[in-house]
Amino acid sequence: MSNTEKNEKRITFGTIHIPDLSKQLIAETLAATRISSGKLVRRFESSFARLIGAPTAVAVSSGTDADILALAVLYDYGAKRGDEVIVPALSFVATGNAVLHAGFTPVFVDIDRKTLNIDVGQIEAALSPRTRAIMPVHLMGKPADMDAINAIAEHYGLMVIEDAAEAHGAKYKGRDAGTLAQLGAFSLYIAHIITTGEGGIVSVQNEKDAEILRSLRSHGRACKCKVCTLNAASKYCAKRFDSKDGEDIRFTFERVGYSSKMNELEAAIGLGNLENYDEILEKRHDNLMHVLDRFDRFSPYLSTISEASHETIGPHAIPIIVEASTGITRAALTVHLEAHGIETRTLFASMPTQCPGFAYLGYREGQFPNAEYMGRNGLHIGVHQDLTLEDMDYVMETLAAFLDRAS
- Give the active site residues: 192
Distance CA 192, CA 186 (A): 9
- 3-state helix, strand and coil shares in percent for the chain, rounded to the nearest 5: 40, 20, 40
Degrees to nearest 5, angle at CA 202 with 198 and 204: 160
Cα distances (angstroms) measured from residue 27 to each of 77, 101, 222, 269, 376? 42, 36, 32, 12, 46
Nearest to 183 by CA among 53, 313, 67: 67
SS3 28: helix
SS3 157: coil
DSSP assignment of 313-376:
---SEEEEEE-GGGT--HHHHHHHHHHTTB--EE--EEHHHH-GGGGGG---TTSSHHHHHHHH
Contact status, residue 93 vs residue 348, Cβ threshold 8 Å: yes
Instruction: Give the pairing of strands 131-134 and 302-303.
Output: unpaired
Contact status, residue 264 vs residue 35, Cβ threshold 8 Å: yes
Nearest to 170 by CA among 200, 202, 142, 145: 142
Rg (CA), the chain: 22
Contact status, residue 104 vs residue 81, Cβ threshold 8 Å: yes
Contact status, residue 70 vs residue 212, Cβ threshold 8 Å: no
